[in-house]
Amino acid sequence: MNAGRVARLLWHLLALVVLVVSGTYLLLYLYRWEWNRALVSGLFFVAAEVVLVGSTILGRLGRLERLFEEEHRPASTALPASSVVKVGMEGESSSFAWLDPGEGLGVFVPVLMGIGVVLSAVAYLVERIAAATAPTIGDQGTARRLAPLDPVRGGLIPSTRTRGVPPDRDWDLASSGPRLVHVGSALSGVVVLLVSGLLATALGSVLWDVAVNRPDPELLGERSSLEISIGQKGEDADPAGHVAEALWISCRGTLPEGVQATAIEPLGADRVHMTLEPAIGRNSQRRFVGCLEDATLDLVQAEVTRFENVPV
C-alpha cells in the first residue's frame, strides 16, 4: 500500500469521525433547543459529508480515467513476458505459465487455494449449523409433484414376491418423513419483525415526545427560581446583572405569554439569581434553559446551575 492510498484512508477516517460526532451533537443541541450550536454542528456535518462524497466521486473518476487511458494506449510491438510460451525440444510447453518461477505466482496460487479451503470449511459449518437448528415439516404439494421421480416399489426388476403386483407410487404423505418447509426460519422472521416493529414504535414515541412543543399545565401558587453563571470574554466586561437582563430579553420569546422575570439579582462572582412568575413547566424549562445556555449574545457564555419551582 503506497503513501497516497494511506493518506486517502486517513482522510476518509477523519471525515467519518467528524461526520458521526457532529451528527450526534446536532441531535443533542436540537433536543436542548440550542439553535446556534446546532447550526454550527450542522455546518460541520454537511462539510464532512461533502468531503466524503466528493472524495468518493473523484476516486471513481480517477479509476475511469486510468481505464480509458489503458484502453487507448498504443499497442507495443513487443509481446509481454506473460504471453511467451516456453516450448521444449519436441514443441510441447515445458510447464504451465503460473508455475514458472519467473511469473511471481509461486506464493499467490497456494495462498489462494488455502483461502478456498478455509472458506469451504466455514461454509460447511454454516450449512451444518443451519440444518441442525432449523426444524422442517413436510410439504405435501412438493412431495406429490416429486413422487413420479421416486423409484418403483420392489426395484426395477420384480422379484418372485412382487411379480404381478403393480408398482405403488402413492405415498402416505402424513408419514413420509420430515417435511421441506422450514418453520423455524418463518418463526424467526416473524419474531424479528415483531421485535423491530416494537423498537421502531418505541423510538418513534420518544422522538415525538421530545420534538413536539407541548404546552405545560398551569402551576398555580408557584414560581420558578434559577441561578445563572455568566462568563464573558474580552476586556470590557459588563456587569452580570446587565448581561442577565439582556439574556432575558433575548429568550423570553420561548416562554408562554404572561410569564415575567420579577427579579434579577446579582449574587457576586458572575452569578445571577432570576425569579419567574408564574412557574414554568418541564417543556418551557427546556426551551428557556436551552436559549440561555446557547450562544445568544456575542462573547457571553451562560450556564444554569440551579432551577426549581418553589411556592410563592
Q: Residues 6 or more apart from 143 whose CB is under 8 A from it? A: 171, 173, 176, 179, 180
Q: Are strands 181-182 and 136-137 parallel, antiparallel or unpaired?
A: antiparallel
User: Which residues lie below 8 Å from residue 162, measured CB to CB, with a gap of 6+?
Assistant: 153, 154, 155
CB 304 within 8 A of CB 226: yes
Give pLDDT tens digits along the chain (312 positions).
577 778 788 888 888 899 999 989 988 888 888 888 888 899 999 999 898 888 888 888 888 888 888 887 776 554 455 444 444 444 455 555 655 655 555 555 555 666 777 778 788 888 877 777 665 555 666 777 777 777 766 666 655 555 555 554 444 444 444 444 455 566 777 777 788 888 888 877 766 666 666 777 777 788 999 999 988 887 777 888 888 888 898 888 888 888 888 888 888 878 999 999 888 888 888 888 888 888 778 888 888 899 998 888
Radius of gyration over every alpha carbon of the chain, rounded to an integer in angstroms: 38
Largest CA distance in the chain: 118
H helix count then E strand count, the chain: 7, 6
- pLDDT, residue 169, reads 46
Residue 296 is classified by DSSP as: -
312 vs 272: CA distance, rounded Å = 20
Three-class SS state of 87: strand
Is 298 within 8 Å of 282 (Cβ atoms)? no
DSSP 241-285: HHHHHHHHHHHGGGSPTT-EEEEEEEEETTEEEEEEESB--HHHH
Quote the pLDDT of residue 120.
82
Long-range contacts of 171-177, Cβ-Cβ distance < 8 Å, separation of 24 or more: 171/143, 171/147, 173/138, 173/140, 173/143, 173/144, 176/138, 176/143, 177/138
Model pLDDT, residue 203: 72
Domain map of the chain by residue range? 3-70, 181-211, 222-311
**What is the model's pLDDT at position 300?**
86
Q: What is the pLDDT of residue 185?
A: 60
Residues composing the chain = 312
Which three cell numbers, joined as nine digits, stand for 38?
A: 446546532
- The CATH architecture to which 222-311 belongs is 2-Layer Sandwich (3.30)
Whole-number pLDDT of residue 173: 44
Looking at the DSSP bridge assignments, the partners of residue 80 are: none
- pLDDT of res. 217: 79
Which residues are CB-contacts of 301 (< 8 A; sequence separation ≥ 6)? Answer: 230, 231, 232, 233, 295
Residue in this structure with the C-alpha cell 421485535, named with its chain if needed = 195
